[in-house]
């Protein structure tokens, strides 16, 4: 029987160890990949020949709000993402699902609860839908952002961080013209008219959430 491959993406080494224990209990013999930054997680997601599950913290270096979920989902849409985060906003779980996660578990949950969530995720089960769904306009914009490619999401995250085009280009190893081209596509996909509106639209969806 092929052992599952699971990515544990969290910037706190101690919590990563706790998650690895939960994984070992839920899926004995699983191959565990680790990442402490969003960039590392995206690279691991992109390079892995097989990836059965991603355990993702929202509060990772390089991430803005739900952008980590959106980015990893764009890199590997067939791989389930289970968010395990300390975000305490009431709509955090719904927001994570809007960007591609199959479930959300609070970091305050005990190890048994996290273990159970991992086991269900590996079995292909999705967490129940929240009782109150997201605002239709918010859900529509979330769907638009979810259609961005990994490169476009990275550019959008740079914009949200207040980076200039030339700074984003340097960060991503792109030309400034390429970044401008990505911004044109981003604004079209998000149905906004300029860079400022794109930032406001994303922040309205908690893409700049510190969670």
Domain 5-122 fold is: Rossmann fold (3.40.50)
For the four alpha carbons of 206, 208, 210 and 211, in that order, the dihedral sign comes to: positive
d(CA 5, CA 205): 31
State residue 126's pLDDT score: 77
Higher local confidence (pLDDT), 59 or 15 = 15
- Each domain of the chain, given as residue ranges in start order, spans 5-122, 136-204
Helix (H) or strand (E) holding 178: helix 176-190
Of all residues in the chain, the percent with pLDDT exceeding 90 is: 51
CATH of 136-204, one of 1.10.10.10, 3.50.50.60, 3.40.710.10, 3.40.50.150: 1.10.10.10
The predicted model gives 186-202 an average pLDDT of 82
Helices (H) then strands (E): counts for the chain: 10, 5
pLDDT category at 190 given cuts 50, 70, 90 is confident
In tens, the pLDDT along 114-166 reads 999 999 999 888 766 655 555 677 777 778 888 889 899 889 888 877 889 99
pLDDT category at 209 given cuts 50, 70, 90 is very low
In this prediction the pTM is 0.81
């Amino acid at each position: 029987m092929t052992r599952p491959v699971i990515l544990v993406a969290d910037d706190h080494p101690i919590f990563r160890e706790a998650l690895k224990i939960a994984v070992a209990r839920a899926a004995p013999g699983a191959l565990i990949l680790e990442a402490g930054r969003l960039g590392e997680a995206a690279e691991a997601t992109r390079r892995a020949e097989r990836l059965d599950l991603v355990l993702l913290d929202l509060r990772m270096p390089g991430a803005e709000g739900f952008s980590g979920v959106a980015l990893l989902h764009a890199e590997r849409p067939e791989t389930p993402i289970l968010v395990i985060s300390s975000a305490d906003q009431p709509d955090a779980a719904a927001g994570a699902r809007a960007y591609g996660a199959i479930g959300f578990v609070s970091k305050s949950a005990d190890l048994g609860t996290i273990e159970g969530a991992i086991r269900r995720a590996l079995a292909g089960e999705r967490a129940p839908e929240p009782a109150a769904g997201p605002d239709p306009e918010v859900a529509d914009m979330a769907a638009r952002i979810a259609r961005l490619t990994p490169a476009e999401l990275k550019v959008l995250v740079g914009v949200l961080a207040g980076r200039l085009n030339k700074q984003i280009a340097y960060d991503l190893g792109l030309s400034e013209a390429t970044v401008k081209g990505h911004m044109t596509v981003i604004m079209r996909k998000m149905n906004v008219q300029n860079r400022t509106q794109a930032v406001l639209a994303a922040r309205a969806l908690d893409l700049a959430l510190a969670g």
